Structure 1
Amino acid sequence: MSIRLSRRKTLILSAAGAVSLGTRLAAQQEGLRLAFIPQENPEKLLGDIAAITEWLADQIGVPVEGFVTIDHAAAVEALRNGDADISFMGALPFMLAEAEIGAVPLLSDVYRGAPSYTGRIFVRRDSGIETLADLRGKDIAFADPISESGFLYPLAEFVEAGLVAGPGEADAFFGRIFFAGGYQQAMQAMAEGLVDAAGASQYADLLLTPQQQAEIIWIAESEPIPSHVVIARPGLDADLRSRFVDAMMRLNEASNRDLLRYLYGPDGYVRADPAAYDGVRDMARRYGLLE
């Protein structure tokens, strides 16, 4: 099924629907609200959220509610406003949340045995596009404007190649730039020929069908990026935060590992090391996203 690309983000309904201010305040006092970013099909993600929040509630002993945000920026805003207590997100939005609201890193995920991954530029095999320079004047879909693997790091490959001066000058190189709202959406747009290329995580091709995977290649790969991180808003009750982290670490146990498929499918979690994200901080400053 084709997707419709637009610079305007499409609102994704939360798993629980709209909630009143009174309900939000009650959730903050009595339980946890988790914000998830739409890296993949939002309908599938809503089902995953329902499964994992039920398990977490049982482990932690308080109600746990999850919802999908429009994008990374909305997840940061939800933490700022107290509409979310904890969020799953990439390294770059964590940097912004840390700088803007003092967000606290709790956990980093491990994927395919590594604490890092890369961003790639994907194209169709039959496109005739072999190098980054071949994309001059072409259309490209990125996942999100404040995603590290879904925008900043793939774009940095064009900067390193001397084709783009920086994020603010990217429009002059490409025909059109779209932000599709997630890895899967960007990859689907490229695979279906709606755009010429996609910038996304090195593993984003796994979100396509096997037939589509066989029809695409990647032509550039970024430097390593620290894995995605789970962060908390400042002021979250320390005991509740500790119980959440302990529960998440239990997902590493053999009897619980099947539940990881409901959390974007990592191999497991480790306690976050803020210093591991120094390289992302440096790149964000280099491109004017952090002071």
Structure 2
Amino acid sequence: MGDTNMRFITATALAALIAAPALAEGWKDDYQTVNIGFLSGENEQDRLTRTAPLKAHLEETLGVNVEIFLAGSYDGVIQAMAADQIEFAFLGSSAYAAAYTATDGNVVPLLTSQNKDGSTGYYSILVTRCDSGLTSVDDLAGKTLAFADPDSTSGYAVPYYNLVAQGYTPTEFFGAVPFSGSHEAGVSGVVNGTFDAAATWQDNDINGVYQRMELKGMIEEGQVCKIWESPEITSGPLTTRKNLPEAMVQDVAAAVEAFPTADPEGWNFYTSFDPAEENPTVGYVRVDHDRYQWIIDMRAWLREQRRKS
């Protein structure tokens, strides 16, 4: 009887060993559709149009359906990830920090974008109307400064944090500090006079939110001027959940990483490439959590300030 049991155990162990590689490669059986979230930096139709080449590339490379998940707010994408409704998301640095906190650390950063010069960051800026006479932060005393969204890195957390570090307490120094809802809405509000200034982002002086709005004909060139710039912010990461198969995570990360070279035309469309751009985004590099810990620390500081107020 002992021999029979031993033969049964050995056979079971052997079957498990044989099945193990198949299980490791079989994530597509459980995930025939991969859901990828995007933050609301532009209107929904523009976002869907711009992400179409990436979606097509991933579907062809991975052999699964890919669904683009869009939410009306940063929090919508974060909560969808926390609720296991989406598997991946392209997040800003602050939104990644929010997702890390909301999921008790159950998210992992994978890739971030890299520019031609090797840089992996961008800048928060404050903009005003060029004809307003407002050319510095000091000029904004008692004026209305619009932040973009509470979970926006460049549109709220970084400018707020750095303004305080430079001696300006936004809630006291400015007349009002409303949220516009999005970067484009903030810039539009400056142009039409709703806000005296707005916080947004740019990679450099020729590529950013207001520059793209000029290219799209949403605002006239020369109406918006930058009056303040933050230190460099590490670009936000493609983020995944910790509870996904490692093979799936690596396959998707590798597919996204290969997108710029696999489909150069699609990549150029996706990144709004301008041939005149001196320092375009050219691809992705791997990142880890340590690159974003300071953002989590900054958010904790901001929460503490809110509690005090």
For normalisation by structure 1, the TM-score amounts to 0.81
Matching of residue 187 in structure 1 with residue 187 in structure 2: yes
Q: 1:257 aligns with which of 252, 264, 272?
A: 264
- Where does residue 219 of structure 1 map in the other structure? 227
- Where does residue 113 of structure 2 map in the other structure? 109
Partner secondary structure for residue 129 of structure 1: coil
Structure 1: distance between partners of 2:165 and 2:212: 28
Alignment of 1:95-134 (within 5 A): 95-101=97-103, 102-111=106-115, 113=117, 114-134=119-139
% identity of equivalent residues:
25
Partner secondary structure for residue 126 of structure 1: coil
In the alignment, residue 33 of structure 1 is paired with which amino acid? N
Report the Cα offset of residue 205 of structure 1.
2.1
Alignment of 1:210-249 (within 5 A): 212-249=220-257
Report the Cα offset of residue 80 of structure 1.
0.8
Structure 1: distance between partners of 2:201 and 2:263: 26
Q: 1:143 aligns with which of 133, 148, 151?
A: 148
- Where does residue 70 of structure 2 map in the other structure? 68
Deviations 1:56-111 (A, max 9, x none): 11111111100211222111100011111101111111112123311111111124
Structure 1 window deviating more from structure 2 (237-246 vs 78-87): it is 237-246
Partner secondary structure for residue 178 of structure 1: coil
Structure 1: distance between partners of 2:264 and 2:229: 30
Partner secondary structure for residue 110 of structure 1: strand
Report the Cα offset of residue 53 of structure 1.
1.3
- Work out which of the two has the higher radius of gyration on C-alpha atoms and give 1 or 2: 2
Q: 1:276 aligns with which of 272, 276, 291?
A: 291
Q: 2:165 aligns with which of 156, 160, 179?
A: 160
Unpaired segments ≥5 residues, structure 1: 1-25, 165-169
In the alignment, residue 187 of structure 1 is paired with which amino acid? V
Check conservation: 1:94, 1:231, Cα contact below 8 A.
Answer: yes
In the alignment, residue 109 of structure 1 is paired with which amino acid? S
In the alignment, residue 173 of structure 2 is paired with which amino acid? F
Unpaired segments ≥5 residues, structure 2: 1-27, 203-207, 273-280
Structure 2: distance between partners of 1:83 and 1:60: 19
Report the Cα offset of residue 27 of structure 1.
11
Report the Cα offset of residue 234 of structure 1.
2.3
Partner secondary structure for residue 279 of structure 1: helix
- Where does residue 32 of structure 1 map in the other structure? 34
Structure 1: distance between partners of 2:41 and 2:77: 13
Structure 1: distance between partners of 2:175 and 2:125: 19
- Over aligned residues, Cα RMSD in angstroms? 2.4
Partner secondary structure for residue 69 of structure 2: strand
- Where does residue 90 of structure 2 map in the other structure? 88
Report the Cα offset of residue 112 of structure 1.
5.2
Structure 2: distance between partners of 1:192 and 1:273: 41
Report the Cα offset of residue 236 of structure 1.
1.7
Structure 2: distance between partners of 1:27 and 1:141: 47
In the alignment, residue 91 of structure 2 is paired with which amino acid? M
In the alignment, residue 47 of structure 1 is paired with which amino acid? T
- Where does residue 7 of structure 1 map in the other structure? none
Structure 1: distance between partners of 2:175 and 2:140: 9
Check conservation: 2:143, 2:176, Cα contact below 8 A.
Answer: yes
Check conservation: 1:107, 1:230, Cα contact below 8 A.
Answer: yes
Matching of residue 55 in structure 1 with residue 60 in structure 2: no
Structure 1 window deviating more from structure 2 (66-75 vs 82-91): it is 66-75
